[in-house]
A and B are shown apart, each in its own frame.
Chain A
């Protein structure tokens, strides 16, 4: 596993997502209310750019007509066929046994530790004073 520095924290404020390609793999990193998540930008169903879908909540119901709406902003809905995946785990909600989106751990690291390595930061200029978003791949 290699740790990739993909942005400074300032560059990816809450509500944004960044698309990038790491080792030929299309990845998107999301900041959801201050938490960071990484997903392979490819739907396991038919290969759409999954991370271009909207982040919505999870609708569930144990009583028809009454909807519990939770995990607001943590469900990515595929821009093609509308399949829903949990941004934390990649879990599918319509076919969890057969499909899972690929999720990657994302952490925030201090610039000082990033400078020491071992990190890959090809396009990011790292300074010791800042915090950085690091994705493990």
Chain B
């Protein structure tokens, strides 16, 4: 049979270093002695245990030694067999894990020289990637300069999980060097393990780490785009290697949605993110994390911003083997005039003053018609994500023991992040909320029931509103305080909201890091019709499937209450697997990746085996990513199920049976039918409409679903799914 890629390029081959000692001939005397006298061991990464099914196909395993360590095998199994014209060698050797930049530099230099001598010199179809010691920019650039003269190097190789998000300006000299030499930057799956391998902490299993690669690629793409790497280096091409790609369309819909509202935060991003992806990013195909049926694949390729599959392959081959240019930096104007003075005063105004009256540029004469308080004739909806706020800090005190009043006044809350007041990433609008949602009587948006009724519940005909209080006791390091505040918030929900308006239902907030206290709070509220779910946040000290959280799931299952997992929270882990990003848009887009990782953990830890009646709702993290995550989980599970024998079914089946999704912020593709196709993959019966009132990324009920949806699906989407899940008649 003729190879379908005969004459093409295999963009991701992995020649294996047999042992660290194989590099000794390529080290200087000092490092050679360091390795031998200190007894350094082989640098095998956690990402690829040698005998794991993920590390080699069974029929490609040699009788002894590491798979990929023999050139003859590589020729027979890949180059000759596939008939490719070129193969690009991406050595995945654990040099990035080393903590000393000096040692990493010595090992990278040796690795690159080893690749030349042992591989590139021996088969002229082979091309190479320059491995760099990324902790040191200076040494990385020097190594690129040293090896770029050899035109068989076509790419610089970096790992997707490192010390910092890859868009950070710190890394730019590397990109400048690559652009100067006409080299692509290849970003390969894998971690330096300098940060936890997921954005929500350390999972238990290799399978989790492997699934998490896809989320890491997503956060890195956001970083690269919004930091302006491609505005600065328009000719630079980056290749996502072993990234999977079925996550790309919904990821881009989400990024595009937030970018439109936060354009001013990163104004050098002067075209839509998907256009940047189209012009500067390429994806290798493996692993195809999608079902292999032609209908699904064809739909998926139709959703891809790069069109169908062929352009991807063409893009890669022309990229990798193109003639390397010399210096190719485009012309850019120098820095423009800045005007910082005027900005500050407005943005720092306290929330009470922002909207009206204090600002010379923004005085409003409000003789406009006031909001009609009439009951709407619109179809009734359920809003499964409403955020009630406190009008004042001490509004909670009547529900808190006296000792905590003094404690809060003296110490405030002790969070898992640095800011005493305000969020670590400044929001898009004051209090992250609509600027037209300030109650006339004062206080922040969402703090007045009467105004919420007038502005939202009545005109939008909300028949069921699920309250998800944020800024509760969750994410507080002092566990006694956490439990006290959570319990107070639950009392406050009854007193101020649910007892005053029968349409509103509360969520039981619990001290998320203290399973025992959380379970006790759930049991205390069980059977109370004021509450319809238990509420957790996505970012905790550990991934949500971990055992410390199991008492919560047990109590929720016993109480017959779904557990909502709302995006946000801080649990002490950097919010990407490569550390802390720079911008609010990265945090916002990143909620989807954190949620994916949290859900993967729930599935892989066997939470749904242990609690078979448990239902969970993914709140405010989008849903477009759900099919891709389930496909990826299934695909990895096929190979690595031996690691998780407690799972009796495919991951996608647990997700299908146990998970619901709130809709906001609904992904926003250019072609709406793409969204409907994604919904069909998930099921119209699994989506719960939500507005996120009063928050700024609110979805307006009348604008969410265009025509073309059947009445039954529309009714399920807007109301019936929620009533059924939450047991509202």
Contact = CB atoms under 8 A, between A and B. Distances in A.
Contact of A16 (B261, B332, B339, B364): B364
Greatest chain A CB density within 10 A among B264, B333, B334, B355 is at: B264
Interface string B224-260: 0001110110000000000000000000000000011
A19 B365 contact: yes
B703 interface: yes
Interface residues on B, range: 35 or more
B267 A65 contact: no
A7 to B, nearest CB: 9
A26 interface: yes
Interface residues of A, number: 49
B252 to A, nearest CB: 14
Contacts of B228: 61, 64-65
Interface string B551-594: 00000000000000000000000000000000000000000000
A48 interface: yes
Interface in A26-53: 26, 28, 32, 41, 46-49, 52-53
A108 B630 CA distance: 62
Contacts of A119: none
Interface string B253-282: 000000111111011101010000000000
Contacts of A48: 434, 436, 700
B377 interface: no
A83 B435 contact: no
Nearest to A53: B435
A114 B558 CA distance: 75
Contacts of B229: 64
B227 A93 contact: no
Contacts of B366: 19
A81 B261 contact: yes
A63 B232 contact: yes
A88 to B, nearest CB: 15
Nearest to B702: A47
Given A47-B702, A56-B264, A60-B270, A69 B339 contact: yes
A18 to B, nearest CB: 5
A94 B267 CA distance: 10
A53 B261 CA distance: 13
A110 interface: no
Nearest to B260: A94
A52 B260 contact: no
Nearest to A73: B361
Interface string A56-100: 110111111111111011000111111110000000011100000
B336 A61 contact: yes
B368 A26 contact: yes
A46 B697 CA distance: 11
B698 A17 contact: no
B696 interface: yes
Contacts of B336: 60-63, 66-68
Given A69-B338, A80-B698, A82-B428, A63 B365 contact: no
A81 B697 contact: yes
A91 B266 CA distance: 19
A19 B328 CA distance: 53
Contacts of A63: 231-232, 268, 332-336
Interface string B588-611: 000000000000000000000000
Given A47-B703, A62-B336, A64-B268, A82 B232 contact: no
A16 B360 CA distance: 8
Interface string B339-374: 110110010000000110001111111111100000
7 contacts: A11-B365, A12-B365, A18-B367, A47-B702, A63-B332, A63-B335, A69-B340
Given A19-B368, A54-B359, A70-B339, 7 more contacts: A54-B346, A54-B361, A62-B333, A63-B334, A64-B227, A66-B334, A81-B260
